[in-house]
């Protein structure tokens, strides 16, 4: 298991001053910046694209940008995000016609590749592609919105993927996304996650450093 990373989701940030918000969470201890891309087609919401990723890089953000694509189709936006400075690009298998090809496309574009599992998506895709992935992302809410409640069946899924990753012997990150907060992050870490997306739990608090520190303490406990 790798060292824990807190990845605040900028979906819950103040978009009118996004650069400062990102600087603030990085100064407060965020390891990655989670970047939610929604298309009002694969998911019922519309957010941000490569232009905003590029703007954050130009603003001076050097932290890894963890792009979570909730778009269909997937492939044609991948090179644009790679050029815009994405570090990790993750996608949902239901949104890609050819999952193996999309993974290869992400890697060929110079980014790390992640596969995302909705609450009802079976893990069977991993039987064939785990060895090609850098990250597995387990959704603990249905994608589309911040501020939803953690779906507890994600804990069992995390335990199963943790076993698969450990058996693979490869340094694959296990990320969790949705409803993560200081009060449940300890249990989520014990289920096997090492990378924790948190949107509303971070950005709805006045003191970002305090909430990130509380999460790190709960993970270490």
Residue ranges of the binding site: 9, 34, 36, 68, 144-147, 177-179, 199-200
Q: Please state the residue numbers annotated as binding site for substrate.
A: 9, 68, 144-147, 177-179, 199-200
Both tokens of 24, joined, read 């603030």
Q: Does 177 bind Zn ion (CB under 5 A)?
A: yes
**Considering the rule CB under 6 A, would residue 8 count as an interface residue with ligand DX5?**
no
Prior bond of 73 cis (ω within 30°): yes
- Residues 130-163 as b or e (16 or more Cβ within 10 Å = b): bebbbbbbbbbbebbbbeeebbeebbebbeebbe
Catalytic residue among 23, 36, 39, 166: 36
* 177 is an active site residue: yes
Residue 39 binds Zn ion (CB under 5 A): no
Q: Which is nearer to ligand DX5, 10 or 172 (CB)?
A: 10
- Distance CA(89)–CA(78), nearest Å, equals 8
Is position 144 an interface residue for ligand DX5 (rule: CB under 6 A)?
yes
Residue 35 main-chain phi, psi, to 5 deg: -125, 100
**What are 124's two structure tokens?**
């069977």
Which among ligand DX5, Zn ion, none contacts residue 93 (Cβ within 5 to 8 A by kind)? none
Q: Of Zn ion, ligand DX5, none, which one sits near residue 4, judging by CB under 5 to 8 A according to partner kind? A: none
Q: Which is nearer to ligand DX5, 42 or 165 (CB)?
A: 42
- Give how many residues touch ligand DX5 by CB under 6 A: 21
Non-local CB neighbours of 204 within 8 Å, separated by 6+ positions: 12, 147
Radius of gyration of the chain (CA): 16
Do 177 and 197 form a contact (C-beta atoms < 8 A)? yes
Contact set with Zn ion (CB under 5 A): 36, 68, 177
Contact set with ligand DX5 (CB under 6 A): 9, 11-12, 34, 36, 68, 141, 143-144, 146-148, 177-180, 197-201
């Amino acid at each position: 298991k790798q060292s824990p990373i807190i990845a605040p989701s900028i979906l819950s940030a103040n978009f009118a001053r996004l650069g400062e918000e990102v600087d603030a969470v990085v100064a407060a201890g965020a390891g990655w910046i989670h970047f939610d891309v929604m298309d009002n087609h694969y998911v019922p919401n519309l957010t941000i694209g490569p232009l905003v990723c590029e703007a954050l890089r130009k603003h001076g953000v050097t932290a890894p940008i963890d792009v979570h694509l909730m778009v269909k189709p997937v492939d044609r936006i991948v090179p644009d995000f790679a050029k815009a400075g994405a570090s990790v690009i993750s996608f949902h298998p239901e949104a890609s016609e050819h999952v193996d090809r999309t993974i290869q496309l992400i890697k060929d574009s110079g980014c790390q590749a992640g596969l995302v599992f909705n609450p009802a998506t079976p893990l069977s895709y991993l039987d064939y592609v785990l060895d090609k992935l850098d990250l597995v992302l387990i959704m603990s809410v249905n994608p589309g919105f911040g501020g939803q409640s953690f779906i507890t069946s994600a804990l069992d899924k995390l335990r199963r993927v943790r076993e698969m990753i450990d058996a693979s012997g490869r340094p694959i990150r296990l990320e969790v996304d949705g409803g993560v907060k200081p009060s449940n992050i300890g249990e989520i870490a014990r289920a096997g996650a090492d990378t924790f997306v948190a949107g509303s739990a971070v950005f709805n608090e006045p003191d970002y450093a305090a909430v990130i520190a509380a999460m790190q303490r709960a993970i270490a406990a």
